[in-house]
Amino acid sequence: DGGITQSPKYLFRKEGQNVTLSCEQNLNHDAMYWYRQDPGQGLRLIYYSQIVNDFQKGDIAEGYSVSREKKESFPLTVTSAQKNPTAFYLCASSSGLAGVRNEQFFGPGTRLTVL
Amino acid sequence: EDKVVQSPLSLVVHEGDTVTLNCSYEVTNFRSLLWYKQEKKAPTFLFMLTSSGIEKKSGRLSSILDKKELFSILNITATQTGDSAVYLCASPNTGTASKLTFGTGTRLQVTL
């Protein structure tokens, strides 16, 4: 089955700890994205990558870091510098230019709670 | 800065009603507008609209784009409880086609 997987589904973290959220896709997509969703708000872009070994900051990159060493994988690290990390995190991928040729496909999300 | 605004923010209807969800946009180099349905987890793709006046249809859902007035509507006829979800619209960012700007979503609840 082709798709996007995210793990873990739920994650609890103490203040001051870094955590890494996993995102893997087997759709052979070039582009991958990380979004954050807060209650009552739409999706806000954290980072995106259009090709392996390259990524760009989105609208709310502060306190987050990513890597793209493999086409299939785009892990997101939430660092202790992120002041309000409790949120629902969604990973997405697309084969080309989003909205031009292909829509973005989303993973099931990770809900991060900082205790 | 690109903007996508959805209305209403939330809506409660009875099963069988018809609903219309609105999405207006301000995008400098407009390419397309996308609609997604989000039930509990991953948003799932519904429609991509690029041309004005051409209705896209899938079952009881349909959508149309007005590029002159800069908005799109999503219609759901004969609503069912399974239509309860957050409906998101998005448009590719002016600067980089890979980035999508999302609206805040419309939360639809369909009651018996």
Per-residue pLDDT reduced to its tens digit, B47-60: 999 988 889 999 99
Would you call A31 and B103 a contact, using CB atoms and an 8 Å cutoff?
Answer: no
User: For B104, which of A35, A42, A105 is closest by C-beta distance?
Assistant: A42
| pLDDT of B97 | 61
SS3 of residue B81 by DSSP: helix
Pairs of CB atoms within 8 A across A/B: 69
Q: What is the pLDDT of residue B41?
A: 83
Q: What's the pLDDT score for residue A98?
A: 65
Q: Do A45 and B100 touch (CB under 8 A)?
A: yes
Strand A43-51 with B10-14, pairing: unpaired
Q: Cβ contacts of residue B57 below 8 Å, gap of 6+?
A: none
Q: In B15-92, which ranges are E strands? A: 19-26, 33-38, 44-49, 56-58, 61-66, 71-76, 85-92
User: Could you say which of B31, B44, B105 has the minimum Cβ distance to residue A42?
Assistant: B105
In terms of Cβ atoms closer than 10 Å to its own Cβ (0-12, 13-18, 19+), residue B65 is buried
Residue A4: enclosing H or E segment and its boundaries? strand A4-7
Name the pLDDT band for A109 (thresholds 50, 70, 90): very high
Per-residue CA distances from B70 to A10, A101, B63 (Å): 39, 21, 14
CA distance A44 to chain B (A): 7
SS3 B83: helix
Contacts of A45 in chain B (CB under 8 A): 99-100
Token pair in block for residue A55: 């990524």
**Which residues in A lie closer than 8 A to residue B9 (C-beta atoms)?**
40
pLDDT at A89: 97
Contacts of B97 in chain A (CB under 8 A): 97-100
> Given CB atoms, is A48 within the 8 Å cutoff of chain B?
yes
Q: Is the pLDDT of residue B28 over 90?
A: no
Instruction: Note if the bond before B8 is cis, omega within 30 degrees.
Output: yes
CB atoms within 10 A of CB B48: 20
Chain B contacts of A44, Cβ < 8 Å? 102
